[in-house]
Amino acid sequence: MSHITFEMRGDVALLGLNRTAKRNAISDAVLEELKGLIARAEAEAKAAVIFGHGPHFCAGLDLGEHVKKSPFEGMLNSRRWHDVFGRIQLGRIPWFSALHGATVGGGLELASATHVRIADETAFFALPEGQRGIFVGGGASVRTARLMGVARMTDLMLTGRSIDVATAELWGIVSARTPAGGALERAVELAAQAATNAEMSNYAIIHALPRIADMAASDGLFVESFVSAFTAHSPEAEERLNAFLEKRAAKVARPGGAA
């Protein structure tokens, strides 16, 4: 039985977690299905959006499965999460997530693997692993900690408290928020915009920026020079630059579209 829907809207793939009775908790089967659909999205789309059906985005790991695993099986399962989520973060196309309701534990880890996160006013965020007697295992110690900072992540893990969307935006977990029910539409809109970019530029953005962020400043600047030169001399970049110089492409406008 499929627990993830897949559809195309133009050049954008939409993947919808659809295990609503479990608040879209991620089981082993869901993870393997996600892995296959990530590959399909890369083959068919230029950008992708992941969202949750029902009242929640994702409540995280399916604890009913996890509690039955041995320590070694648990470690291997964690590595599977790392592998699948890594295919989102460091794949071929940009990924957007539309968040609402519970974005908790592994759900927040999944969202953290996407490149842009849009949340509506119903979204809430938590890392309750400390209260469950476990530790994060889907990449939060790397990806989520880089978004909110180690001190804030420590707070959430030690206390088990949840934060609302306004706090999540302030902490850098989400890029923008919308009224209730508006996150998916906005995420699709932004993904469609990203899909119009040069493929090489998108690839450079999602691959170079996180690596440069982990480098010393001088190393990062050196790598930036190579990426900049490489992308600027592609045929597509030359055409886009000439279109701008010849006034065939729009200038950057103020927010709201005013000149």
From the candidates 7, 33, 129, 238, give the one annotated as an active-site residue. Answer: 129
Quote the CA–CA distance of 196 and 252 in Å, as a whole number.
15
Give, for 55, the enclosing helix (H) or strand (E).
none
Quote the CA–CA distance of 193 and 253 in Å, as a whole number.
15
Quote the CA–CA distance of 238 and 255 in Å, as a whole number.
27
Q: Of 2, 130, 113, 108, nearest to 56 (Cα)?
A: 108
Q: Which CATH architecture has domain 4-195?
A: Alpha-Beta Complex (3.90)
Tens digit of pLDDT at every position of the chain (259 positions): 799 999 999 999 999 999 999 999 999 999 999 999 999 999 999 999 999 999 999 999 887 787 788 989 889 999 999 999 999 999 999 999 999 999 999 999 999 999 999 999 999 999 998 888 888 999 999 999 999 999 999 999 999 999 999 999 999 999 999 999 999 999 999 999 999 999 999 999 999 999 999 999 999 999 999 899 888 777 776 666 556 556 766 776 777 765 5
CATH number of 199-245: 1.10.12.10
- The reported pLDDT for the residue numbered 134 is 84
Quote the CA–CA distance of 111 and 102 in Å, as a whole number.
11
Q: Is 56 helix (H, G, I), strand (E, B) or coil?
A: coil
Q: Which long-range contacts (CB under 8 A, 24 or more apart) does 144-147 make?
A: 144/108, 144/109, 144/112, 144/173, 146/213, 147/112, 147/171, 147/172, 147/173
Show the tokens assigned to 240.
Answer: 């886009």
Which residues lie below 8 Å from residue 97, measured CB to CB, with a gap of 6+? 49, 50, 51, 57, 110, 111, 114, 116, 117, 118, 187
Write down the domain spans for the chain.
4-195, 199-245
246 is catalytic: no
129 is catalytic: yes
From the candidates 7, 65, 109, 185, give the one annotated as an active-site residue. Answer: 109
Instruction: Count CA atoms within 13 Å of residue 172 on its CB side.
Output: 10
- The reported pLDDT for the residue numbered 10 is 98
